[in-house]
Amino acid sequence: MAAPSTHTMDFFERQDQARRSTRRLIAYFMLAVILIILSIYIAGITIFFGFNVNADPELPFQWWNPDLFLWITGATLCVVVIGSLYKIFALSKGGEVVARWLGGRLIDSSTSDPQERRLLNVVEEMAIASGTPVPSVFLLEEEKSINAFAAGFTPADAVIGVTRGTLQILSRDELQGVIAHEFSHILNGDMRLNIRLIGVLNGILVIAMIGYVILSGTRTSSSRKNGGGAAAILAFGAALLVIGYVGVFFGKLIKSAVSRQREFLADASAVQFTRDPDGIAGALKKIGGLAHGSRIQNPKAEEMSHLFFSDGKHGKASPFLSMRNRKPPVQTHSAFSFMATHPPLEMRIQRIDPSFDGTFPAVHFPSKKALETRDPKELAASAAQTAAKSAASAPSGGAPAVPLIPMIPQQMTQLFGKLTEAHLAYATLLLAGLPSRLTARVREPASARIIIFALLLSHDSKTRRAQFQLLNESKDPLVSSETTLEASTLIDRCPPEARLPLIDLALPALRTLSLSQYQDFTGLVEELMKADQKIDLFEFTLQHILRRHLDPHFNQTRPSAARYGSLTPLTHEISLLLSRLARAGQDGEEQAQQAFAQGVKELKGSRLKLSWLEQEDGFEALSKALDRLNRVTPLLKRRLLRACGVCVSHDDQVTLREGELLRAIADALDCPMPPFLPGQTLRSAEIPNSKSQIPNKIQH
């Protein structure tokens, strides 16, 4: 007997699987539309002859009527396609639309509310540890149940939403387990699939809605006049209503089957991320013991049911919870359990905690008085305990003065989309070690801009004077050379590897700017970068991160879909990318050409005719090249990123600056790359153990 496969899918294979799931969904959708067309045609031809509408009484019954079939086919396709595209287009603005539809309120990134601050801290830690931009977080204030969701097309426009019950009932470890589950959906490519499911079902639902409108209108008119025509229209409306809802029924079956499997994967990933099965298991158990369960009261909960952490429609507590020694089925689905978008609570918990006996603890939503009298120090103590736990589990030691990362590029791609306990501990300690004044400012919209400006200040005195003049001429009264220099002083007290996390931390605050403020901000960023008449690697990295994660929000641009199944049409873009990376990673032109040749060799199976670019194009050309390369399939991105790793590590080392550029390129390709951990070796794709060098304390 063959041994069972131990292969674990990496980030790119999971993304490719999600892409194949989307293709299967489209195939099912097309099959459903064909069946709907045939059903409407059969109903139409039967009603047409049955009620003898506008027909000769002597005309014999015929099943095949080409004109009627073409008319029904065209009308049905128009209705279904327009209905689907309308919904998908409405959701294309990102996860924020979904959050607001569900009644969410954007949590201010500088909030002083202890519970909201705890939630944002957990989200920030997860984002930095996974290499994704820090998402905006929404609170469903009217929902007393325990639930959460992640929504968006890509990590760039993703949002996290949680209910009031999640915020007020769960401990920090349980909250971390829930957020880790949602980050798994972000990393596994589930969000785009979920939104397309909403669009597909809406297109089919429109058929039923048209039938309902016909029925309503015909009943009114038929009360005033009788005739075969009115009866036929009434019957046809009823047929459309039935056919539409039958189509929706089978569409929901597909949605539920896809969703249930993704939920199991997200649960397992959350345990892997946190190494704390009690966290997510505890959250699921509290759902079972809470009277509100995981039910979402918002009327759009049914449409969005597959987005949630737990079943948002049927999740409710059993009436037998007050009875002792009972093991009630808390997640009370209907008899058609195959329609459920989530597996039963008991099954999910037992996969995480095999010792679970089915008994749920009694959980009550805290009273208003209890919430008002809750000591904020309790939440602070919880955060301190988490930091202590991270310090205990994280590798210790001091970071090297000039960080160098030994690298085997062929194994580098195992890190993408991979969030580990070590990365989470590293992110927690890094954030805890930042000066408190700096973290407070980076979360304020006005001062977050100043932090970005401070990151761009040059060490050259002449260039810095020119930058100070630009800052003092700014239209914003809060921006000046003095405030920027003060922020720069705080940044200088942080380790170099804190620069990218600071940019990520600023993103939620920067998203709250007005359009005019954002335009002034990006204009000043560009002027500060060009103050010395050149752009270095870090400046390009910073600008590209800002453009990639803020432009879609302010300019309402739609995310690009995979278009290229081959690298052949993109030879110039790949040549430009590898040439730029080779020069960035090597000191001399000869060494750079050798690094380029190694990168080309990594892509040898693609039969590409890549050429070394003697004249270096600007960073703007590189940015445009990355935009096109982002439209290749996930498995091609893996090969491309391996070639990039070869270029920057031709000397077997990667400096911090090169690592930042590599992570920016990965980010541009929608491939989140966790931070390199000091002491991490990629020769075996290992995460550092307790003897590796990760700073556990950053001097203030």
Q: Which residues are catalytically annotated?
A: 182
Nearest to 164 by CA among 301, 370, 316, 365: 365
Give CA–CA dist 29/100, Å, rounded: 28
**Largest interatomic CA distance in the chain:** 99
Cβ-contact 360, 275 below 8 angstroms: no
Show the DSSP H helices in 567-630 as ranges. Answer: 571-585, 589-602, 619-629
Which secondary-structure segment (H or E) carries 630?
none
CA distance 209 to 204: 9
Q: What are phi and psi of 684, to 5 degrees?
A: -130, 15
Q: In 3-state terms, the chain is what percent helix, strand and coil (to 5)?
A: 60, 5, 35
Q: CA nearest 309: which of 214, 185, 451?
A: 185
Rounded distance, CA 543 to CA 537, Å? Answer: 10
Residue identified by tokens 């810095």 is 464
Calpha distance 555→31 (Å, rounded): 36
Where do the H-state alpha helices sit in 473-532? 481-492, 499-510, 515-529
Partner residues linked to 223 by β-bridges: none
CA separation for the pair 469, 411 (Å, rounded): 47
Question: What b/e sequence results for 170-207 when a residue is b if at least 16 CB atoms lie within 10 Å of its CB, and e otherwise?
Answer: bebbbbbbbbbbbbbbbbbbbbbbbbbbbbbbbbbbbb
Beta bridge partners of 405: 654
Q: What is the CA 273 to chain-centroid distance, rounded?
A: 16
Residues 6 or more apart in contact with residue 552 via CB below 8 angstroms: 94, 156, 157, 558, 559
Q: How far apart are CA 238 and CA 33, in angstroms?
A: 18
